[in-house]
Amino acid sequence: MSSTLPIELSVYVMEQSYYMPDGHIDQGTLAACSLVCSSWVKPAQRLLFHSITGSLRAVRFVDASINPCTQRGKILGSYIRRLEVNVGTRGGLGPSLDEHQFALLLSWCPMLYELTLRVFGLHEFNESVLTELDVVANTVNLRALRLLRFGVQSPIIYQLIALWPRIQFLTIGAEIDALPPTQMPVIRLHELLLFRSLIPSEFLDWLLSNSESSLQILGLHDVPGQQIKSVLAKHIGPRIRSLRMLRFNRDSAYIMRLCTHLEELVLHHIPIVVELKDLPRTIEHLSIRSAVLHAPIIPLIGTLPNLRVVTFDENMHRHAHFPALQSACDANGVALWKHVLSFRIVSPPFNPCTLNLTMINYSTKIQ
């Protein structure tokens, strides 16, 4: 069978089918596209192998498919840009890769850009594994690391930062109690997302010591404590363009006021006790990730002269105050969009100048 569409249009059709409505990758459709005709195989496989996430079964399937002892395996391995994997022993939760399998799998993904890692029952990588990972790091230019689980006193985060000092996007999903090394890092972060507030100020000070001129995106999923607030005050300021906070309180308001050139503000909960006011006038994108809409936030729309887009949780349109929000946006020439995907997607190459347009692409406009 031959395709009747130019390959450019065929690729466009497949790209539009990449995500399902719930935000998950439509692997079934992509796999079916690879069987349509010979000209569809390569672009469909590129999309199919671009992001490998989920179960160990999926990783084992990829493991068998990208073995570089065959030319086909080398090609498929070169398509992988994002990889999610569990390492260590998971006890009753089932098996995961051991450290050597982990290093081997990474070596088969030479173009890997983002690694999402959960570590179970493993305190640190031993010397032999570090040697293997050091060889891998010479060819795999990792730029984004999402370390979602590891031991509280584990030094694994320091080991990975030392192996990949060019990481620009870092997500930390666990608490930390291990003191940082005496040697200061060379890592220059563009984005830092913190899922836990129990992070020593010494660690944060160490981590951001070389990122004062590069950090542009900051996400706080816990209310920042007093010590974290003090450290952030030292390292952030006019360079922060995107601030994302799960909760808003006085400490959060203090951090927001430090970001005098903020272009994007994301709130997962609309504050009730602390009034949301005095927002930086530079904001272009206001994101409300709450299913509940409180009336006091609506007058803010007219106080932000640079505001271009308001995005909201897809269930918020059922709220009684939503028509008033839509009217306020219409009156001020502000687009109102609905979230359908998580906007935190790292796609190489990343251009900071297109930050706001990138966010908009992961939403659906209200008709």
40-73 residue pLDDT tens: 887 878 888 888 875 455 556 566 678 787 888 8
Positive/negative CA dihedral, 121, 126, 132, 136: positive
Question: Which tens digit of pLDDT belongs to each residue from 278-307?
Answer: 889 999 999 888 767 776 788 889 999 999
Is pLDDT of 350 > 80? no
Which structure tokens are listed for 367?
A: 């008709």
CB neighbours of 27 closer than 8 A, spacing ≥ 6?
48
Number of C-alpha atoms within 13 angstroms, CB side, residue 56?
A: 14
pLDDT band at 167 (very low <50, low <70, confident <90, very high): very high
CB neighbours of 202 closer than 8 A, spacing ≥ 6?
179, 180
Q: How far is CA 19 from CA 47, 50, 341, in A?
A: 11, 12, 9
The SS3 call for residue 211 is coil
Is pLDDT of 326 > 60? yes
What b/e sequence results for 197-229 when a residue is b if at least 16 CB atoms lie within 10 Å of its CB, and e otherwise? bebbbebbbbbbebbeeebbbbbbbbbbeeebb
Q: Chain-wide mean pLDDT for the chain? A: 81
Rounded CA separation 42/39 (Å): 7
Question: Which tens digit of pLDDT belongs to each residue from 219-247?
Answer: 988 777 777 788 888 888 888 999 998 87
Parse the chain into domains and list their residue ranges: 1-48, 277-367
pLDDT on residue 72: 84
